[in-house]
């Protein structure tokens, strides 16, 4: 990342499309939180929980929604989406470091690889035969890029990324350290008490503008490809099984596990530590809360939650014990209903319950 660069508020308004209110000549160099920002910083208010901090912030300028603009005298950028405007401002103030073209002397690059002259390959990286590396792409130290892989323009691999053979990465995709893309899927057939490995012949194909977090793993397909569509954002330590399809503009938080052959639609949100069983379909526009376990298809978009609300441990023990009794209670209720119905049609002339003496 390049050193922070100073911008006036007027320049930021022009470049982000936000409305300027107040002194546009105010110069800022950093972004910060309302609570901790100081002179030279620009802070933002996107979550109403922090509205009380707006009055006391020491920032030189703020980014706010129209409804919050009257509540601060500071120079400001006014936006209907303050968080997105903050993201754009942060990119302006903290631009990515320019790519320094070249192949480090310690890197091993096959003669059969095609590497753009503007690309960068770092120390001890390995690039095998028939690999294509696009313009301004960056391959960090100790990365491995397997035979026939394709890296689009402006792809960035942080140090120690592993791309198995024939993996395809679209333009501007960023992959963080420790990620493994294209390893064998978990394909086994059982026979006579032993497991027989099924060769994994597919690829992993990642679209443009994707981001894949540290230590995330994506398995290649068994027959067809595993596909990560455009603008998908994957957090750290996610597991995606073979033959999955992750629809465009979907975001998945850390520690999610997705079994094989899951088809997740576009514009989905999946919270941290959610678990999704194999061979399921998740409708476009679905939100799955953190910690939720999904065992069946989700065919209609909406928010789905399967976690038990937090409570003190002893209360949880009592609640769990009661839940375990539900099946037994259900059978008892069914038996009582049957007895009541039998009494309701009795021939004793009562109004429905045997032994009724009224």
CATH for 7-93 is 3.40.1390.10
Which token pair is 199? 């060769």
State the chain's mean pLDDT as an integer: 94
Q: pLDDT band for position 311 (50/70/90)?
A: very high
Query: For residue 244, with 0-12 CB atoms within 10 Å meaning exposed, 13-18 middle and 19 or more buried, which class applies?
Result: buried
In this structure, are strands 194-197 and 188-191 parallel, antiparallel, or unpaired?
antiparallel
Q: Are 171 and 188 in contact (CB under 8 A)?
A: no
Of the options 3.40.50.150, 1.10.1060.10, 2.160.10.10, 1.25.50.10, the CATH number for the domain spanning 102-304: 2.160.10.10
Taking phi first (over 0 means left), then psi (-120 to 50 degrees means alpha), and beta for anything else, what does residue 187 get? Answer: beta
pLDDT at 250: 98
pLDDT at 348: 52
Active-site annotation holder among 176, 242, 328, 331: 242
Which token pair is 11? 């320049």
- What is the SS3 assignment for 28? strand
The mean-pLDDT minimum among 73-82, 125-134, 138-147, 339-348 falls in: 339-348
pLDDT at 259: 98
249 is catalytic: no
Residue 288 is inside which H or E element, if any?
strand 287-288
Domain boundaries, the chain: 7-93, 102-304, 313-358
- Give tens-digit pLDDT for 130-146: 999 999 999 999 999 99
% of the chain residues with pLDDT over 70:
95
In this structure, are strands 281-282 and 269-270 parallel, antiparallel, or unpaired?
unpaired
- Look at residue 29 and tell me whether its pLDDT is greater than 50: yes
pLDDT at 309: 83
Question: Half-sphere exposure (CA, 13 Å, Cβ side) for 191?
Answer: 5
**CA-only gyration radius of the chain, Å:** 28
Q: pLDDT band for position 343 (50/70/90)?
A: confident
Which token pair is 21? 């209110």
- Give tens-digit pLDDT for 146-168: 999 999 999 999 999 999 999 99
- Look at residue 357 and tell me whether its pLDDT is greater than 90: no
Please name the residue ranges forming H helices in the chain. 9-16, 82-93, 313-324, 326-344
């Amino acid at each position: 990342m390049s050193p922070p660069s100073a911008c006036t508020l007027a320049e930021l308004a022009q470049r982000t499309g936000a409305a300027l209110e107040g002194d546009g000549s105010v110069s800022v160099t950093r972004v910060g939180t309302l609570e901790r920002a100081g002179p030279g910083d620009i802070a933002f208010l996107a979550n109403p929980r922090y509205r009380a901090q707006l009055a006391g912030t020491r920032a030189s300028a703020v980014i706010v929604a129209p409804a919050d603009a009257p509540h601060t005298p500071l120079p400001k950028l006014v936006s209907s989406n303050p968080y997105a405007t903050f993201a754009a401002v942060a990119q302006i103030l903290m631009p990515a470091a320019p790519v320094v073209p070249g192949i480090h002397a310690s890197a091993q690059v096959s003669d059969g690889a095609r590497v753009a002259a503007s690309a960068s390959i770092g120390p001890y990286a390995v690039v095998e035969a028939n690999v294509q590396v696009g313009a301004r792409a960056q391959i960090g130290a100790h990365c491995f890029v397997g035979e026939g892989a394709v890296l689009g323009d402006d792809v960035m691999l942080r140090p120690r990324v592993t791309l198995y053979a024939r993996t395809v990465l679209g333009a501007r995709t960023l992959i963080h350290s420790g990620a493994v893309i294209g390893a064998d899927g978990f394909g086994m057939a059982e026979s006579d008490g032993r497991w027989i490995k099924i060769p994994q012949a597919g690829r992993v194909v990642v679209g443009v503008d994707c981001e894949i977090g540290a230590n995330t793993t994506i398995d290649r397909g068994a027959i067809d490809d595993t596909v990560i569509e455009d603008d998908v954002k994957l957090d750290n330590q996610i597991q995606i099984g073979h033959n999955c399809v992750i629809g465009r503009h979907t975001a998945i938080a850390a520690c999610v596990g997705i079994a094989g052959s899951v088809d997740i639609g576009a514009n989905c949100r999946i919270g941290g530590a959610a678990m999704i069983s194999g061979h399921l379909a998740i409708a476009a526009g679905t939100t799955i809360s953190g910690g939720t376990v999904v065992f069946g298809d989700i065919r209609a978009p909406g928010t789905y939650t399967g976690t038990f609300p937090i409570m003190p441990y002893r209360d949880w023990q009592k609640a769990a014990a009661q839940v375990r009794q539900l099946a037994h209670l259900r059978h008892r209720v069914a038996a009582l209903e049957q007895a009541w119905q039998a009494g309701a049609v009795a021939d004793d002339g009562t109004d429905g319950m045997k032994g009724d003496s009224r």
